[in-house]
Structure 1
Amino acid sequence: MRRFEGYGVLITGAARGIGEATARRLASEGARVLVTDIDAEAAERTAAGIEGAASCYCDVGDRASVEAAVACAVERFGTLDVLVNNAFSCSPDTPLIEDQPDDAWSRDLDISLTGAFRCARAAMPHLAAHGRGAIVNIGSVNGEQDFGNHAYSAAKAGLASLTRTLAGDAAARGVRVNQVTPGTIRTRSWDGRQDSLEILNGVYPLGRVGEPEDIAAAVAFLASHDASWVTGTTLRVDGGLLAVNTGFQRMLADEADQGAQDV
Structure 2
Amino acid sequence: MRRFEGYAVLITAAGSGIGAATAHRLAEEGASVLVSDIDGAAAGKVAASIREQGGTAREFACDVGDKAAVEAAVAYAVEAFGRLDVLVNNACACHPDAPLFEDEDDGEWAVDLDITLTGAYRCARAALPHLVASGRGAIVNIGSVNGIQDFGNHAYSAAKAGLASLTRTLAGHAGPRGVRVNLIAPGTVRTAAWAGRDEQLDAMRELYPLGRVGEPKDIAAAVAFLASADAAWVTGAVLPVDGGTTAVSSGFKIMRG
TM-score normalised over the length of structure 1: 0.93
| Aligned pairs for 1:43-62 within 5 A | 43-50=43-50, 51-62=55-66
1:206-257 per-residue CA deviation (whole Å, 9 max, x = no partner) reads: 0000000000000000000000000000111000000022449xxxxxxxxx
Residue 188 of structure 1 deviates from its aligned partner by 1.0
Residue 130 of structure 1 deviates from its aligned partner by 2.1
**Distance of 1:224 and 1:22 partners within structure 2:** 13
Q: Which of 176, 195, 211 is the equivalent residue of 2:215?
A: 211
For structure 1, which runs of at least 5 residues remain unmatched after alignment? 249-263
CA RMSD in angstroms, aligned pairs only: 0.9
| Aligned pairs for 1:75-224 within 5 A | 75-224=79-228
Structure 1 stretches of 4+ with a deviation exceeding 6 A read: none
Percent identical among aligned pairs is: 71
**Distance of 1:116 and 1:212 partners within structure 2:** 20
> What SS does structure 1 have at the residue aligned with 2:139?
strand
| AA partner of residue 15 (structure 1) | G
| AA partner of residue 71 (structure 2) | E
TM-score normalised over the length of structure 2: 0.95
1:6 aligns with 2:6: yes
**Distance of 1:66 and 1:131 partners within structure 2:** 22
**Distance of 1:192 and 1:36 partners within structure 2:** 26
Partner of 2:22: 22
Residue 56 of structure 1 deviates from its aligned partner by 0.2
> What SS does structure 2 have at the residue aligned with 1:53?
strand
> What SS does structure 1 have at the residue aligned with 2:207?
coil
1:40 aligns with 2:44: no
The count of residues paired between Structure 1 and Structure 2 equals 248
**Distance of 1:241 and 1:6 partners within structure 2:** 36
For structure 2, which runs of at least 5 residues remain unmatched after alignment? 253-257
